[in-house]
Amino acid sequence: MTSRILVVEDEEMLLEAVKMNLEMEGYEVEVADTGTKALKKAEGQRFNLIILDVMLPEMDGFAVCQKIRISDSDTPILFLTAKDSGQDKINGLKQGADDYLTKPFNLEELLLRVRVLIKHSVRGSREAEEIRTFKFGDNEVNFLTFKAKGINDNELTLTKKEIALFKLLVDRKGTVVSRNQILQFVWGYDVYPSTRTIDNFIMTFRKYFEKDPSNPQYFHSVRGVGYKFTE
């Protein structure tokens, strides 16, 4: 059974980045951008983990956590806190939450914490084993195993970053994804690769999946703007 995660965060870009990265790990993700919406979802559905931002409009994460804990004492809660949270706050949140992560955080670290929390949770279930494959032309890419089939039936194994960039472009099929969006989604907060690095990824995709890499059908660079996937 797929593990289900509720992510509560009001920063849209961060919410989407977290959601995408969790989905790539095979989790089923529900989102909420206010405490009220989060409570509604938490009451009506079962989750294996709740990721809860502390600084939310209307009702903060602590209040949301307290309310959840009235009726549900065992769904793990991971707090996302701002860098300037005092020790008191951290102690306070430790009481209702199972773990916390200070912003800005590394996406890899978030995934690691999530894995641990879900594994240890009473309701923890095996991570998704279902195969999720995206096909385009004669190519196919599996988002869970990272295995791919490219031109001339080449068997490939993509790297984690390649899969993240690929999925981002495919999710936004037909629209230009800016360099900044790519940086935030694929590299997270702390590493800032050059434009050249992203270009190299795109060139690799063309080499793998394009019949004529110099005249791409799928992976387009839009000069000065970003990158686009089309089918």
Give me the residues that bind Ca ion (CB under 5 A), please: 10, 53, 55
Distance CA 74, CA 68 (A): 10
Name the minimum Å distance from CB 54 to Ca ion: 7
Q: Which is nearer to Ca ion, 20 or 55 (CB)?
A: 55
Residue closer to Ca ion (CB basis): 78 or 163: 78
Alpha carbons 35 and 198: distance in angstroms, whole number: 36
Closer to Ca ion by CB, 10 or 99: give it.
Answer: 10
Q: Token pair for residue 187?
A: 């590299």
Give the rounded distance of the alpha carbon of 48 from its chain centre.
16
Nearest-CB residue to Ca ion? Answer: 55
Sheet containing 99-102, strands listed edge to edge, beginning at the edge strand earlier in sequence: 28-32, 4-8, 49-53, 77-81, 99-102
Taking the complex as a whole, the smallest distance from the CB of residue 124 to Ca ion amounts, in Å, to 27
Q: Tell the smallest beta-carbon distance from residue 161 to Ca ion (Å).
A: 26
Determine contact, residues 45/69, Cβ cutoff 8 Å.
no
CB of 75 to Ca ion, least distance (A): 21
Q: Where are the alpha helices (DSSP H) in 72-221?
A: 87-96, 107-120, 160-171, 179-182, 195-209
**Amino acid (1-letter code) at residue 23:** E
E-assigned strand segments in the chain: 4-8, 28-32, 49-53, 77-81, 99-102, 133-136, 139-142, 147-149, 155-157, 177-178, 219-222, 226-229
Question: What are the tokens at 20?
Answer: 């995408």
Closer to Ca ion by Cβ: residue 55 or 156: 55
Report CA Rg, the chain.
19
Looking at the Cβ atoms of 18 and 198, the one nearer to Ca ion is 18
- Least Å from the CB of residue 9 to Ca ion: 6
Minimum CB–partner distance for residue 56 and Ca ion (Å): 6
Nearer to Ca ion, 56 or 168 (CB): 56
